[in-house]
A and B are shown apart, each in its own frame.
Chain A
Amino acid sequence: MSTTAALEIATLEQAQEMGLTPEEFDHISQILGRTPNFTEMCVYSVMWSEHCSYKNSIKWLKTLPKDGPHMLVKAGEENAGLVDIGDGLACAFKIESHNHPSAIEPYQGAATGVGGINRDIFTMGARPIAQLNSLRFGSLDHPRTKWLLEGVVKGIGDYGNAFGIPVVGGEVFFDESYQVNPLVNAMSAGIMKSDQMISATAAGPGNPVYIVGSATGKDGIQGASFASKDITEDSANDLPSVQVGDPFQEKLLLEATLELGNTDAVVGMQDMGAAGITCSTSEMSAAGEVGMDIQLDKVPLRQDDMKPFEILLSESQERMLVVVEKGKEQIVEDIFEKWDLNAENIGVVTDTGIIRYYMHDELVSEIPAESLVLGGGAPIYEREYKEPAYFAEGQKFTIDQVEEPKDVVIVARQMLSNPNIASKKWVAEQYDSMVGTANMGTNRPSDAAVVNIKGTNKAISLTVDCNARYVNNDPEKGTMIAVAEAARNIVCSGGEPSAITNCLNFGNPYNPEVYWQFVGAIKGMSAACERFKTPVTGGNVSFYNQTAKEDGSASPVFPTPTIGMLGVLKDKSTHTTLDFKYKGDLIFLMGESQNDINSSEYLASIHGIKHSPAPHFDMEEEVAIQNCVKALIKENFINAAHDISDGGLFVAMLEMGLPNGLGFDIVSDSEVRKDAFLFGESQSRVILTVTEDYEEQFLDLVGEHNVPVTLLGHVTQGKVVVDDDHFGFVKDLRGLYENTLGDIMSK
C-alpha cells in the first residue's frame, strides 16, 4: 500500500473486518463530519476495541468503590493505582491479563504480559519490587495443556528473571473450562516517593513529544482487536498479532525511565501497550485536553517498508511516549544515550485537541483525541443479562446426595496428588523469587507474600486470589469470597488490607448468561470491597475467553475475577508465618466447622459434581475473625496462622507441617461429617498454633472478640493423626504433595 492507499476512503467492509460495527462506522463519520480514510478507520478500530475502550464493561465498573483514605491516584486516572503507605512512600500496583496471546503462543504471550504490567508501574516513576501471577489451564490429562503450562511458565520466568524483579506469589488452577483458552494474569507492585509521580498526561503546547526505547516493528499489529474476539480454530492465523518481548531492553528502559523521573525534564509519560503509538498519543492528549502533531516517519523502525497504519498499530514492546519540557531535550537524550536506547523527537503538543499523524509531511490522519478514548467519545454499551439455568440447578445440591467415603485416609492421599491442591513448586522454582533481596517469605512462608521496604520499618503484603469454581457456581458470593480470602491472607500474614486491583476474565459479553456472571461478580466485589475498606485501584477486563465450537456454540471459561490485594505491615516485625514451629504447640480452629462440601475441590474431583452452591460464607463472621487474628498477632499470642481454603482443613494443616517436617494429632467435630470436616471449604476459618503457656491469654482475647474457637489437638514430631486414624508421616506425604506436578510434567 502506498501513502495514497492510506488516504483512501475506508469502506464498511474493511471496518467490519477490523471489528467495528456498522453503527460504530456511522458514528465515526458523524464525529469527523466525513467518512474516515483507511488509516483513521484503523485508529478507531483499535481505540474502540473492547480491550482499549471497555465499552461493554465500563457502565458496571463505575459502580465499584474507588475511594479510600490512602488513595493517591484512583482507578482509571493513571496507568496504575497509587496507594499511600506512609513515610512519604507510595505503592503503585496493577494486574493485567495476557490471555489471548498466551493461548496461541504461550511463551511470548506470557513474557510480554510480564513486560507490559511492569511498564505500567515504572512509567509512573515507581520501581517494581514484586510480581505475582494467576494462571489457569485446562486439564493436565491433555498434552496441549502441558505445552501451554510449560511455555507460559518459561515465558514468565525468562522475562521476569532477566528483568530482575522477583515473583513472590501466585496461583495455578486447572479446569476443563480453560482447555483452549488459558488465563495468564500478571501483577506487579512498585514503590516510589509519593510526590514524584510521573503523570500520563500531555500538556504545554509546543512541548516536544518523544518515543523512547525499542524500535517499532510489525509485531503485535492489532493485538488489541485480537484480544477482543473469541478464540477459534483460526486464531493461530492471528500469530502476527502476538508481540515479542525483550527483557534486556525492558531493564534498560526501567533504569533510564527512573533516572529521567529524577529530573525536571518530563511533563508526562505513558507506556505503549495495546494499540501502541495510537493509544499513547490519544490518551495522553485527551487527559491533558490538548492535541499532538506526530511525524510517523521519524519513528525508529525495525523494517523500512512500514505503512502508516502499521506504525500506528504496532504493539512492539519496550517503548514509551514522553512529553518533554521544551528546552530540556538534551537531558532526555543524554540519559537514553547512556542506556543505549532510542530517544527520538517525533512531534509536538498542540492546543487543538486534534491528533494529526503525518508521513513525510503528508497528513494521513486527523482525529479529535477525545473522540477516541474511554470517558470521551468511545462507545458505551449496556448489555442485557439473564440467569443461566445451571445456577438454580446447582443451588439444589445438598451434602446428603453424596455418600460419605469409607476411608478418608485414601481420599486424603488423592487430594494431595490432585494438581489443584498439590505444591506448585515445579512452577515457582522456575521464577527468581529472591532477586532484590526483599522477599521475606523465602525463609518464612506466610499466607500472603511479604516484601521488605528497605530503609523503613515497613513491609508490604501482596496476594492474588480467586476460586473460579465458587464464582461459576455463584458469581456474587463467589467474588465476595475472593476478596475476603485475599484480605484473610493479608491479615494472617500480619498486614492490614489496603486496596485491590482486579483482572476480570469472562466469556463473550454479548452472551446474556456470561454477562449475568459479570454483573454478579461486580456486585459481589463492590460489597466486599466496601466492607473491607479496600477500594479498587484499577486493573483490566478480558472478555471473549471462550472456545467457539464447530457447531457455532461457544463455551465460556469459568468466570474468573482475579483479585490482587495490597496490604501494609506498618511494623515488619508483625510478619506472621504459617509453619508449625514446635512440637507440642496447641492447634486451634478459629471459625466454625460446617457440614458443607459445596463447590469444594473434594466435591468436584472425588465425586465429580461441579454444580453446587458456593461454600458457606458470612461477611460479618469473616470480619470478626479477621479482627480477632489481627489482635492476636498484635499481642504476639500465636506462633502460626494459616487460612483454610482449597482442599479444606486437612490440606491447610499439612501445608503448616511441611516447612519444618512437623505433624499433627487432632480430633474432628462430631457435629459434622468427617469428609466435610477434613475437606470442606466453608469460609472464614483460620488454623492457629499457640504455645501452651499462652493458652489462657489467647482464649481470653478470643473471648473478648466473641468468635468461635475450638482446640483441635497439638503439633507432633511428624506423625499425622485424626481421631486416632494414622494418615502417615509428614515426610512421606511430602513426596506426594511436592512431586505430583513435576511427575505429571515429566511424563
Chain B
Amino acid sequence: MKFGVVVFPGSNCDEDMVYVLQDILGQEVERLWHKERDLKGADFIVLPGGFSYGDYLRSGAIARFSPIMEDVIAHANKGGYLIGVCNGFQVLTEANLVPGALLHNTNRKFICQNTFLLPQSATALPTKGLDPKVPLKIPIAHGEGNYFADDQTLMEMDDNDQVLFRYCNEAGKINEDTNPNGSVENIAGVMNKNGNVFGMMPHPERASDLDLGNTDGRQIFESILTGLLEKA
C-alpha cells in the first residue's frame, strides 16, 4: 500500500499528513505536485488541509481544476481510495466526489479547537475499526466547515451508511450545543456511495503524535490500515 499526498500551492497540512503516515505509521508515502499528472503508483490518495490557491474564490473551488486532480478524479472513479481532510474535503465537495457542500461557519469566524466525534458508519474504512460508543478527541480548524446537504441527500446517506462522524461532546452526546459550526445533523465527515472516497473537516493528523498528548486520530488511520489489510 502506497499513499500519495497531493501538494497544492497553499496546502499547509501536507507535511503534517506525511509525518503521520510515514514517520508515525511507517507507511510508504509520495508527495504529488499539483502541476504534474502522475500519481506515482499511489493506491490511496490524500488531499491535505490548507488554503489551496489561497482559497480566494471559494474554499477548494480552484484546486479541483488543477492538472493532478484530473488523475485523482479518474483514480476515484475507478474505485481507487481517496480521502480529503479540511480543505481537502472542500475540494472533494467542489469536485462532486462526495455529497453535500461546506458553508461558512454559522458564527462567521474561523474556529480552531478540540472537538469530539462519534464514529457513525459501521461499514466505512475510516470508522469500521472504531467503537461507535467512544468519542474521539480530534481538532477542527476552519472558516468554512458548516456541512450542508438537502433532506433527500441526507436520507440517502443514512440509508447507505455514508456518514462517517458527527460532532458530540466528551460524553458522546450529539446535539445543538455540541455542534461547533452549524453543520446539518452535526455531520463532520462523509463518504461517497461507493465507499472509496472520504471527506472530513476535523484533522486526525493533528491528533496522532504522542508528543502532543492526544492520539485519538491515530485510531482512524489504523482503522483504514486494518481495513485495507483485510481487503488485500
Of chain A, the residue at the smallest CB distance from B7 is A255
Most buried by B among A249, A428, A430: A430
Q: Which residue from B16, B112, B208, B214 sits with its C-beta under 8 Å from A433?
A: B112
Q: Which residue from B9, B16, B143 sits with its C-beta under 8 Å from A340?
A: B9
Q: List A contacts of B208 (CB < 8 A).
A: 437
A432-B112 contact, Cβ under 8 Å, with A248-B10, A440-B212:
yes
B211 at the interface (CB under 8 A from A): yes
Q: How far is the CA of A430 from the CA of B113 in the complex (A)?
A: 9
A437-B51 contact, Cβ under 8 Å, with A163-B12, A430-B109:
no
Question: Once the chains bind, are B51 and A162 in contact (CB under 8 Å)?
Answer: yes
Question: Once the chains bind, are B212 and A430 in contact (CB under 8 Å)?
Answer: no
Q: List A contacts of B172 (CB < 8 A).
A: none
Q: List B contacts of A712 (CB < 8 A).
A: none
Q: Which residue from B9, B13, B56, B214 sits with its C-beta under 8 Å from A435?
A: B13
CB distance from B210 to the nearest CB of A (A): 11
Question: Once the chains bind, are B203 and A442 in contact (CB under 8 Å)?
Answer: no
A429-B113 contact, Cβ under 8 Å, with A252-B9, A442-B139:
yes
A454 at the interface (CB under 8 A from B): yes
Q: How far is the CA of A340 from the CA of B55 in the complex (A)?
A: 16
CB distance from A129 to the nearest CB of B (A): 11
Q: List A contacts of B30 (CB < 8 A).
A: none
Bitwise, B63-79 to A at CB < 8 A (1) or not (0) is: 00000000000000000
Question: Once the chains bind, are B111 and A429 in contact (CB under 8 Å)?
Answer: yes
B227 at the interface (CB under 8 A from A): no
Question: Once the chains bind, are A437 and B212 in contact (CB under 8 Å)?
Answer: yes
A162-B112 contact, Cβ under 8 Å, with A436-B16, A437-B209, A443-B212:
no
Bitwise, B3-23 to A at CB < 8 A (1) or not (0) is: 000000110110110011001
A431 at the interface (CB under 8 A from B): yes
Question: Once the chains bind, are B110 and A435 in contact (CB under 8 Å)?
Answer: no
Question: Once the chains bind, are A444 and B141 in contact (CB under 8 Å)?
Answer: no
A432-B141 contact, Cβ under 8 Å, with A440-B211, A442-B213:
yes
- Where chain B touches its partner, the secondary structure class is mixed
Question: Once the chains bind, are B9 and A434 in contact (CB under 8 Å)?
Answer: no
Q: List B contacts of A452 (CB < 8 A).
A: 209, 211-212
Question: Once the chains bind, are B206 and A443 in contact (CB under 8 Å)?
Answer: no
A611 at the interface (CB under 8 A from B): no
Of chain A, the residue at the smallest CB distance from B180 is A429
Question: Once the chains bind, are A442 and B9 in contact (CB under 8 Å)?
Answer: no
B residues 52-111 near A (Cβ < 8 Å) are 53-56, 109-111
A431-B112 contact, Cβ under 8 Å, with A248-B9, A454-B19:
yes
A161 at the interface (CB under 8 A from B): yes
A161-B10 contact, Cβ under 8 Å, with A434-B206, A440-B211, A442-B114:
no
Question: Once the chains bind, are B112 and A439 in contact (CB under 8 Å)?
Answer: no
Most buried by B among A154, A162, A163, A428: A162
Question: Once the chains bind, are A161 and B212 in contact (CB under 8 Å)?
Answer: no
Question: Once the chains bind, are A247 and B54 in contact (CB under 8 Å)?
Answer: yes
Of chain B, the residue at the smallest CB distance from A425 is B113
A572-B211 contact, Cβ under 8 Å, with A161-B110, A430-B111, A431-B112:
yes
Question: Once the chains bind, are B12 and A435 in contact (CB under 8 Å)?
Answer: yes
Bitwise, A411-452 to B at CB < 8 A (1) or not (0) is: 000000000000000001111111111111011100000001
Question: Once the chains bind, are A157 and B110 in contact (CB under 8 Å)?
Answer: yes
Q: Which residue from A162, A428, A436, A442 sits with its C-beta under 8 Å from B214?
A: A442
Question: Once the chains bind, are B9 and A246 in contact (CB under 8 Å)?
Answer: no
Q: List B contacts of A435 (CB < 8 A).
A: 12-13, 16, 49, 141, 206
Chain B interface residue bracket vs A: 35 or more
Question: Once the chains bind, are A443 and B211 in contact (CB under 8 Å)?
Answer: no
Q: List B contacts of A246 (CB < 8 A).
A: 54
CB distance from B60 to the nearest CB of A (A): 14
Q: How far is the CA of A157 from the CA of B203 in the complex (A)?
A: 18
Bitwise, A154-190 to B at CB < 8 A (1) or not (0) is: 1001100111100000000000000000000000000
A581 at the interface (CB under 8 A from B): no
CB distance from B97 to the nearest CB of A (A): 24
Of chain A, the residue at the smallest CB distance from B15 is A436
Question: Once the chains bind, are B54 and A429 in contact (CB under 8 Å)?
Answer: no
Question: Once the chains bind, are A443 and B10 in contact (CB under 8 Å)?
Answer: no
A residues 86-101 near B (Cβ < 8 Å) are none
Q: How far is the CA of A443 from the CA of B12 in the complex (A)?
A: 21
A339 at the interface (CB under 8 A from B): yes
A66 at the interface (CB under 8 A from B): no
Bitwise, B102-139 to A at CB < 8 A (1) or not (0) is: 00000001111110000000000000000000000001
Q: How far is the CA of A543 from the CA of B21 in the complex (A)?
A: 49
CB distance from B52 to the nearest CB of A (A): 9
Of chain A, the residue at the smallest CB distance from B16 is A437
Q: How far is the CA of A386 from the CA of B50 in the complex (A)?
A: 52
Question: Once the chains bind, are A162 and B111 in contact (CB under 8 Å)?
Answer: no
Question: Once the chains bind, are B54 and A248 in contact (CB under 8 Å)?
Answer: yes
Q: List B contacts of A572 (CB < 8 A).
A: 211
Q: List B contacts of A488 (CB < 8 A).
A: none
Q: How far is the CA of A358 from the CA of B203 in the complex (A)?
A: 52
Question: Once the chains bind, are B139 and A162 in contact (CB under 8 Å)?
Answer: no
CB distance from A465 to the nearest CB of B (A): 23
Q: How far is the CA of A572 from the CA of B212 in the complex (A)?
A: 11
CB distance from A191 to the nearest CB of B (A): 13
Q: How far is the CA of A112 from the CA of B113 in the complex (A)?
A: 25
A136 at the interface (CB under 8 A from B): no
Q: List A contacts of B111 (CB < 8 A).
A: 429-430
Q: Which residue from A164, A429, A454 sits with its C-beta under 8 Å from B12?
A: A164
Question: Once the chains bind, are A158 and B110 in contact (CB under 8 Å)?
Answer: yes
Q: List B contacts of A163 (CB < 8 A).
A: 12
Q: How far is the CA of A163 from the CA of B23 in the complex (A)?
A: 24
Q: How far is the CA of A158 from the CA of B54 in the complex (A)?
A: 11
Q: How far is the CA of A435 from the CA of B142 in the complex (A)?
A: 11
Question: Once the chains bind, are A437 and B12 in contact (CB under 8 Å)?
Answer: no
18 contacts between A and B (CB under 8 A): A158-B110, A161-B51, A164-B13, A164-B50, A247-B51, A247-B54, A248-B51, A252-B10, A429-B113, A430-B110, A430-B112, A431-B112, A434-B141, A434-B203, A435-B13, A437-B19, A443-B212, A454-B19
Given pairs A442-B213, A452-B212, 14 additional interface contacts (CB within 8 A): A162-B50, A248-B10, A339-B9, A428-B112, A429-B109, A430-B109, A433-B112, A434-B112, A434-B203, A437-B16, A437-B20, A437-B212, A440-B213, A452-B209
